[in-house]
Structure 1
Amino acid sequence: MTHAEPVKTRVDPVTAAVIQGALENIAVEMGHKLMRMSYSSIIRESEDFGAALTDATGRQLCECRMSTPLQSGPIPGYVRGILRTLERRGETLHPGDVVMHNDPYGGASHGPDVGFCVPVFRGDRLIGFSVTTAHHLDIGALAPGSCGIVDAVDTYAEGLQFKAIKVFDRGTRNAAVWHMLRDNIRASDLVVGDMEAQIKAAEIGAARYLALVETWGLDTVDAAYEDLLDYSERLMRDAIRALPDGTYRATTHIDGYLDDPDPARRDLPLAVAITVEGDAITVDLTGTAPQLPDKPINMPLEGTVDCAIWLTLRSILLDSADYGPIPQNSGLTRPITIVAPRGTLANPIFPAPVIARFCPGNQLADTVMKALAQVVPHQVSAGIGNLRVVAFSGLQEGRHWVHMEIMEGSYGGRHGRDGLDAVDTLYANTRNNPVEDIESHLPLRVERYELRTDAAAAGEWRGGIGTVREFTFLADGGFSLEGDGHRYAPWGFDGGADGFTASLKLVTAAGEEVALPSKVPYHKARAGDRLVSLGPSGGGYGDPARRDVEAVRDDVRDGLISAGTARDGYPAAMGTDAGSPPIRAGAAPLTSP
Structure 2
Amino acid sequence: MSAKQVDVIEYPRGTALERALDPITTRVIAGALESIVLEVGHKLSRMAYSSVIRESEDFGAAILDARGRQVCECPLSTPLQLGPIPGYVRGIEQILAERGQTWHEGDVIMHNSSFHGASHQPDVAFCVPIFHEGALVGYSVTTAHHLDLGALVPGSVGIVDATDAYAEGLQFRAVKVYERGEPNAGIWQLLRDNIRSADMVVGDMEAQIAAARVGARRYVELLEQYGRATVEDACEELMNYSERVLRDQIAGLPDGVYRATGYVDGFADDPDPERRLLPVKVAVTIEGDTLTVDLTGTAPQVAEKAINMPFVGTVDIAVYVTLRSILLDQATHEDMPQNSGLVRPVRIVAERGSMANPVFPAATIARFCPGNVVADTLMHALSPICGDRVSAGVGNLKVIAYSGLNGEKYWVYMDISEGAYGGMLERDGIDAMDTLYANTRNNPVEDIEAHYPLRVRRYELRTDRSGAGRWRGGMGTVREIEFLAPGMMNLEGDGNSSAPWGAFGGQNGSPGGVDFVRADGTVEALPSKLQGRRAQEGDVIRTLSPCGGGYGDPLERDPELVLSDLLDGYLSEETARSRYGVVPAGNAVDEQATAALRERLRGADAAEHRPPWASVPSGTLG
TM-score interval for Structure 1 and Structure 2 normalised by the shorter chain: over 0.9
Aligned mates of 1:132, 1:298 — CA distance in 2:
24
Q: Partner residue of 2:393?
A: 383
Structure 1 residues 466 and 439: CA distance shift in structure 2, 3 A: same
Unaligned 5+ runs, structure 1 = 1-5, 586-593
Task: Tell me if structure 2 keeps the 8 A contact 1:496–1:541.
Answer: yes
Q: Partner residue of 2:600?
A: none
Aligned length: 578
Counterparts in 2 of 1:44-443, with a 5 A limit? 44-443=54-453
Q: Partner residue of 2:522?
A: 512
Q: Partner residue of 2:593?
A: 581
Is the deviation greater in 565-574 or in 10-19?
565-574
Q: Partner residue of 2:607?
A: none
Matched residue SS, 2:427: coil
What is the percent sequence identity of the aligned residues?
61
Aligned mates of 1:393, 1:145 — CA distance in 2:
7
Aligned mates of 2:531, 2:20 — CA distance in 1:
55
Q: When the two structures are superposed, what TM-score results if normalisation uses the length of structure 1?
A: 0.96
Matched residue SS, 2:388: helix
Aligned mates of 1:507, 1:390 — CA distance in 2:
15
Superimposed CA distance per residue, residues 516-565 of structure 1 (whole angstroms, 9 cap, x where no aligned partner): 00001111110100111111100000000110001000000000101111
Task: Tell me if structure 1 keeps the 8 A contact 2:576–2:582.
Answer: no
1:8 deviates by 8.5
Matched residue SS, 1:480: strand
Q: When the two structures are superposed, what TM-score results if normalisation uses the length of structure 2?
A: 0.91
Task: Tell me if structure 2 keeps the 8 A contact 1:232–1:327.
Answer: yes
Aligned mates of 1:407, 1:458 — CA distance in 2:
22
* Letter in structure 1 aligned against 2:405: L
Unaligned 5+ runs, structure 2 = 1-15, 586-590, 598-622
Does residue 459 of structure 1 match 2:469? Answer: yes
Q: Partner residue of 1:475?
A: 485
Aligned mates of 1:127, 1:458 — CA distance in 2:
54
Matched residue SS, 2:261: strand
Counterparts in 2 of 1:560-579, with a 5 A limit? 560-571=570-581
Task: Tell me if structure 2 keeps the 8 A contact 1:394–1:402.
Answer: yes
1:243 deviates by 0.4
Aligned mates of 2:596, 2:215 — CA distance in 1:
59
* Letter in structure 1 aligned against 2:52: I
* Letter in structure 1 aligned against 2:128: V
Task: Tell me if structure 1 keeps the 8 A contact 2:562–2:582.
Answer: no
Task: Tell me if structure 2 keeps the 8 A contact 1:9–1:227.
Answer: no
Aligned mates of 1:371, 1:170 — CA distance in 2:
50
Matched residue SS, 1:581: helix
Task: Tell me if structure 1 keeps the 8 A contact 2:251–2:288.
Answer: yes
Aligned mates of 1:566, 1:190 — CA distance in 2:
50
1:324 deviates by 3.0
Q: Partner residue of 1:590?
A: none
Aligned mates of 2:174, 2:553 — CA distance in 1:
53
Task: Tell me if structure 1 keeps the 8 A contact 2:393–2:500.
Answer: yes
Aligned structure 1 segments of 4 or more residues deviating by more than 3 angstroms: 6-10, 572-575
Q: Partner residue of 1:548?
A: 558
Aligned mates of 2:520, 2:66 — CA distance in 1:
60
1:289 deviates by 0.5
Task: Tell me if structure 1 keeps the 8 A contact 2:456–2:482.
Answer: yes
Matched residue SS, 1:322: coil
Q: CA RMSD in A?
A: 1.6
* Letter in structure 2 aligned against 1:289: A
Aligned mates of 2:545, 2:510 — CA distance in 1:
9
Aligned mates of 2:214, 2:63 — CA distance in 1:
11
Aligned mates of 1:548, 1:153 — CA distance in 2:
52
* Letter in structure 2 aligned against 1:532: R
Superimposed CA distance per residue, residues 451-502 of structure 1 (whole angstroms, 9 cap, x where no aligned partner): 0121121000000001000001001111110001111000000010100110
Structure 1 residues 9 and 570: CA distance shift in structure 2, 3 A: farther
* Letter in structure 2 aligned against 1:420: I
Q: Partner residue of 1:589?
A: none
Superimposed CA distance per residue, residues 117-144 of structure 1 (whole angstroms, 9 cap, x where no aligned partner): 0000012210000000000000110000
Matched residue SS, 2:594: coil
Structure 1 residues 557 and 542: CA distance shift in structure 2, 3 A: same
Matched residue SS, 2:296: coil
* Letter in structure 1 aligned against 2:361: P
* Letter in structure 2 aligned against 1:61: V
Counterparts in 2 of 1:497-508, with a 5 A limit? 497-508=507-518
Task: Tell me if structure 2 keeps the 8 A contact 1:549–1:574.
Answer: no
1:376 deviates by 0.8
Aligned mates of 2:474, 2:232 — CA distance in 1:
44
Q: Partner residue of 1:591?
A: none
Q: Partner residue of 1:494?
A: 504
1:511 deviates by 1.5
Counterparts in 2 of 1:18-33, with a 5 A limit? 18-33=28-43
Matched residue SS, 2:571: coil
